């Protein structure tokens, strides 16, 4: 009887030791994954704030902070490298934030599909996203995930269009009768654009004019340039 009890105790000890070893291996595996180089940053909530110094300006709507994180400005799209006013927008953005410690506010999501932070940048108490739009150096680009400052951005764009600043001073492109649009990404397109077939039917919408698409906060597609 005593021998059976002793054997049972030894068996329980071996089981406990095995369980402890397995837990240690699991914890080590988790730490390796969490701390591995290049891992995506942890998502932040809409009320989180991130302070950081701007180390490098990549465009009119993208910067790199001193911790190495890339930050994309939410709710807007500045001209791309092959579009007019790219250099002007980049230079103006640098004037506003380069070397400055900025405050970033987030929307429903703080990361894009590439793992970059997406937010609204404040310098000296002013929202840089809004300033660039008001100066005609960025389009409003509202998406299903980024609409926190919808009113402010649309008012700024209306003012820029009214006074023909920046991109609004350029000749208007040829008009289409209709413009397919994708609310998920905040772009509108020409019907012939290669991006149109990629829009899922359940979220596709169509505007009966370029002005209506812009008024709704959609930005022109950089590929088909509507």
- Mean pLDDT to the nearest integer, 79-97: 98
> What is the chain's mean pLDDT, rounded?
85
pLDDT value, residue 112: 87
| pLDDT above 80 (res 13) | no
- Mean pLDDT to the nearest integer, 186-195: 98
- Mean pLDDT to the nearest integer, 41-50: 50
Cβ 46 vs Cβ 108: under 8 Å: yes
Torsion of CA 112, 114, 118, 124, to 10 degrees: 180
Strands 117-123 and 101-105: antiparallel
> Is the model more confident about 183 or about 45?
183
**Alpha-carbon distance 140 to 170, whole Å?**
17
pLDDT value, residue 173: 94
Instruction: Give the dihedral sign, CA 132/183/65/78.
Output: negative
Question: What does CATH list as the number for 49-167?
Answer: 2.40.50.90
| pLDDT above 90 (res 121) | yes
| pLDDT above 50 (res 30) | no
Residue 172: C-alpha distances to residues 59, 169, 209 (Å): 23, 9, 13
The predicted model scores a pTM of 0.79
pLDDT value, residue 49: 62
**Alpha-carbon distance 61 to 78, whole Å?**
6
Torsion of CA 47, 53, 58, 61, to 10 degrees: 30
**Alpha-carbon distance 183 to 200, whole Å?**
10
Q: State the pLDDT confidence band at 113, using cuts at 50, 70 and 90.
A: confident
Residue 104: beta bridge partners?
A: 50, 121
> Is the model more confident about 22 or about 30?
22
Torsion of CA 57, 58, 62, 63, to 10 degrees: -40
- Mean pLDDT to the nearest integer, 87-115: 93
| pLDDT above 90 (res 164) | yes
**Alpha-carbon distance 166 to 161, whole Å?**
9
- Mean pLDDT to the nearest integer, 55-64: 97
| pLDDT above 60 (res 10) | no
Kindly state the percentage of the chain with pLDDT values over 70: 78
Question: What element of type H or E holds 113?
Answer: none
Per mean pLDDT, which range of 43-52, 119-128, 187-196, 217-226 is the poorest? 43-52
């Amino acid at each position: 009887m005593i021998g059976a009890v002793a054997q049972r105790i030894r068996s329980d000890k071996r089981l406990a030791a095995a369980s402890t070893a397995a837990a240690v291996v699991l914890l080590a595996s988790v730490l390796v994954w969490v701390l591995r180089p290049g891992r995506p940053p942890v998502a932040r909530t809409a009320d989180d704030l991130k302070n950081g110094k701007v180390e490098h300006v990549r465009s009119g709507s993208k910067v790199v902070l001193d911790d190495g994180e890339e930050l994309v400005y939410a709710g807007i799209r500045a001209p791309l490298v092959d579009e007019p006013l790219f250099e002007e927008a980049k230079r103006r953005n640098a004037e506003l934030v380069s070397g400055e410690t900025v405050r970033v506010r987030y929307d429903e999501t703080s990361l894009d599909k590439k793992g970059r932070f997406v937010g609204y940048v404040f310098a000296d108490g002013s929202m840089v996203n809004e300033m660039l739009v008001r100066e005609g150096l960025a389009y409003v680009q509202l998406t299903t995930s980024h609409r926190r400052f919808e009113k402010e951005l649309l008012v700024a764009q209306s003012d820029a269009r009214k006074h023909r600043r920046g991109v609004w001073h350029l000749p208007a492109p040829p008009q289409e009768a209709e413009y397919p649009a994708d609310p998920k990404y905040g772009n509108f397109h020409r019907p012939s654009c290669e991006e149109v077939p990629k829009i899922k039917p359940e979220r596709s919408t169509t505007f009966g004019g370029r002005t209506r698409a812009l008024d709704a906060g959609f930005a022109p597609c950089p590929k088909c340039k509507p």
